[in-house]
Amino acid sequence: MVAIEKGEMTAVEVINTAIYNEKLAAEHYEILCDMCLRAGNPSVSDFFHHQANRERGHYNRLIKLKRKRGKDNSPAVGEYIRWVLSESGAGAKFLPSLNMDEALKMVESRENDACRFYSEAARKTTDPELAGIFAALAEEESHHQYLARKLRTDFEQKGIIDEMDYVDLGFE
């Protein structure tokens, strides 16, 4: 995720941050998708590919919103967030060193971060349209987190995660 220091942000700045984050999330999911394919895990690869498509959908929705609003002279959304680069938001350069359990935990954490970002933006904006869009995105990100947690839990219950813990998902 992008680092944003606490302070006033306009709606456009929040939207721009969200656009960047969604693009980055889709790219990271595609990297994980490719890594799983190379490691011989097509079903997990499909999960990551599906998640990448969802993030691209969020990205496209936000791009349309930005275009619709045009030059936005809206008031600041408010002093509401300190968005820091968390461990879960580490760049793609770290992805190749992850095992399956770490990758799924990272996905859960990133989706939680995104949910918090959108929830806070929805809560602080005075624009009803933006509040609705941000609230819907928060709900979708929460569902993404649930799906990643469910996949990891399913793997753990079936004993797959233990076997995959030592599978090298990375590539040189």
Whether residue 58 is contained in a domain is answered as yes
- Length of the chain as a residue count: 172
Whether residue 172 is contained in a domain is answered as no
Tens digit of each residue's pLDDT (9 = 90 or more) over 46-81? 888 999 999 999 999 999 988 887 765 554 444 434
Whether residue 3 is contained in a domain is answered as no
Tens digit of each residue's pLDDT (9 = 90 or more) over 95-119? 566 777 777 888 888 888 889 889 9
Whether residue 170 is contained in a domain is answered as no
Whether residue 169 is contained in a domain is answered as no
Q: Categorize the per-residue pLDDT at 121 as very low, low, confident or very high, splitting at 50, 70 and 90.
A: confident
Q: Print the domain residue range for 139.
A: 8-164
pLDDT given for residue 159 in this prediction: 65
pLDDT given for residue 87 in this prediction: 40
Whether residue 60 is contained in a domain is answered as yes
Q: What share of the chain is helix, strand, coil (3-state, %, to 5)?
A: 75, 5, 20
Question: What is the number of structural domains in the chain?
Answer: 1
Q: Is the pLDDT of residue 43 over 70?
A: yes
Find where tokens 């813990």 sit.
Answer: 165
Domain containing residue 47: CATH number:
1.20.1260.10
Whether residue 151 is contained in a domain is answered as yes
Which of 83-92, 95-104, 114-123, 149-158 is least confident?
Answer: 83-92
Strand, helix or coil for residue 80? coil
> Is 92:110 a contact under the CB 8 Å cutoff?
no
Whether residue 47 is contained in a domain is answered as yes
Q: How far apart are CA 30 and CA 42, in angstroms?
A: 13
Which of 9-13, 29-33, 60-64, 156-160 is least confident?
Answer: 156-160
